[in-house]
Every structure is written in structure tokens, then in C-alpha cells.
A and B are shown apart, each in its own frame.
Chain A
Amino acid sequence: KAGVTQTPRYLIKTRGQQVTLSCSPISGHRSVSWYQQTPGQGLQFLFEYFSETQRNKGNFPGRFSGRQFSNSRSEMNVSTLELGDSALYLCASSLGLAGGRAYTQYFGPGTRLTVL
């Protein structure tokens, strides 16, 4: 089974621009979560989607948004980029929840975003 794929792998943008990152989950997985990884803040949860619905959102400004399509692929968008948005953005997929327990999340290779 193919793993989680993310495109593009690398992006360079300038302040004020917007960016869209894409994530294709493992086949059969309906839950997609996004995380931001920076040297200063570590790994932080952005949001989670399940069956095209956002189920949870982390503590990030409204410039960060996402969506999920009917085939479970997900995109996240960051508008009005700031220097501090430079980070590795990781997508993870899972089967979701069952019996009150979360299924394991499997991560993609990430998209490295650099904001100049």
C-alpha cells in the first residue's frame, strides 16, 4: 500500500503571498491531520478532517485553513504569509476513531515551506 504523499516537497514564498499544500492519505484512510514543525515550537497540531468535515482545530490564526475532498485528499492553505510561517508541514492519515480510541496516524514526508 502506498504511504501518505505530500506535494510539493519544497516551497519558497515571499511575505504576503499565499500557499496551498496538498496531502494524499493512505488508501482507505478517511482522517487527515496537519501539523506544523518548527525548531522553536516543535510539532504543533493544526487541524483534523474526517469525511470532508473539520473535527478539530489547533491554536493557529485564521490565516491557516484547510479542506478535505470526497476522495479524502486534503489541502491546507496559508494566506498572507509571515516569516514565522517557515516550517515543515506534516500531514498524517489514519482510519479515524473506533471504540473511543484513535487509530494510529501515519505521516507523509512533509512540505518544507520557506518564507522570505
Chain B
Amino acid sequence: GDSVTQMEGPVTLSEEAFLTINCTYTATGYPSLFWYVQYPGEGLQLLLKATKADDKGSNKGFEATYRKETTSFHLEKGSVQVSDSAVYFCALSVPSGNTGKLIFGQGTTLQVKP
């Protein structure tokens, strides 16, 4: 079945370090791919998305490129800040019939130290 695998956390970085969170997926159709972020005590916020191969999603300095050949959607940021500390979820949506439920990875906790 469809699934998403993220790198294990927690990831601990110093401020201004480079961030990569790996995400790979398995899907039978042509998924849309998403990164969501969850801050403590809150719901999920959409960070970025890509709907077809080679699309690059970007927002707030974060980027991810939809790589069909490697079935990956890795999240990157050139210089992290303490305020980026949160849990990051990679997700896919494969429309089936008339529904498009999200399938999530297990989440990766990022801790940025000053």
C-alpha cells in the first residue's frame, strides 16, 4: 500500500546550520507530496507542497523537490533558527475514487540550539 518513510529523529542542530530531513514514499498512483510542521500544543501547519514530478515547493526558507525517480521529497533549509524547532511530517495524497486522504510519515523532531 501507499506509505511514507521519514528519517528517525530527533535531529539536533545549532542555529544557522544546514537542515536536511529525508522523506521517501511508496505510491501506486501519482501522489501530491506535502510537508507539514507541528509546534508544541498545536495542530499541523502546511509548510510546502509539490503536485508533480520535478516540482519544487518552498516556503519560509524551506525547500523540497519532488523526485519521482528516487521517490523522495527531502526537506532542506540553508540556515535554521531556534524558532524552527518543531515536529516535521512528510505526507502524500493519492486521490482514489473521489477522496484524497493524507498518509503521513512518523514525524521528525527538530531541535535547534542557540
Contact = CB atoms under 8 A, between A and B. Distances in A.
B45 A48 contact: no
Contacts of B95: 97, 100-102
Contacts of A45: 101-103
Contact of B102 (A96, A97, A105, A109): A105
A66 interface: no
B36 interface: yes
Interface string B53-95: 0000000000000000000000000000000000001010101
B44 A90 contact: yes
Interface string B96-111: 1111111111110000
Contacts of B49: 104
- The B interface is mostly helix, strand or loop, or mixed, namely strand
B45 A107 contact: yes
A50 to B, nearest CB: 7
A15 interface: no
A56 interface: yes
B114 interface: no
Interface string A69-109: 00000000000000000000010101011001111111111
Contacts of B44: 90, 92, 107
Interface of B: 32, 34, 36, 42-46, 49, 51, 89, 91, 93, 95-107
21 contacts: A33-B102, A35-B102, A42-B105, A42-B106, A43-B102, A45-B103, A48-B99, A55-B97, A55-B98, A55-B99, A56-B96, A97-B100, A101-B32, A101-B51, A102-B32, A102-B93, A102-B99, A105-B46, A105-B102, A107-B36, A107-B45
Given A55-B99, A107-B44, 14 more contacts: A4-B43, A42-B104, A42-B107, A45-B103, A48-B101, A58-B101, A92-B44, A101-B95, A102-B32, A104-B34, A106-B46, A107-B36, A107-B43, A108-B43
Q: Would you list the 10 A-B pairs with minimal beta carbon distance, nearest first? A: A102-B100, A56-B99, A43-B104, A107-B44, A107-B43, A55-B99, A109-B43, A102-B93, A45-B101, A110-B43
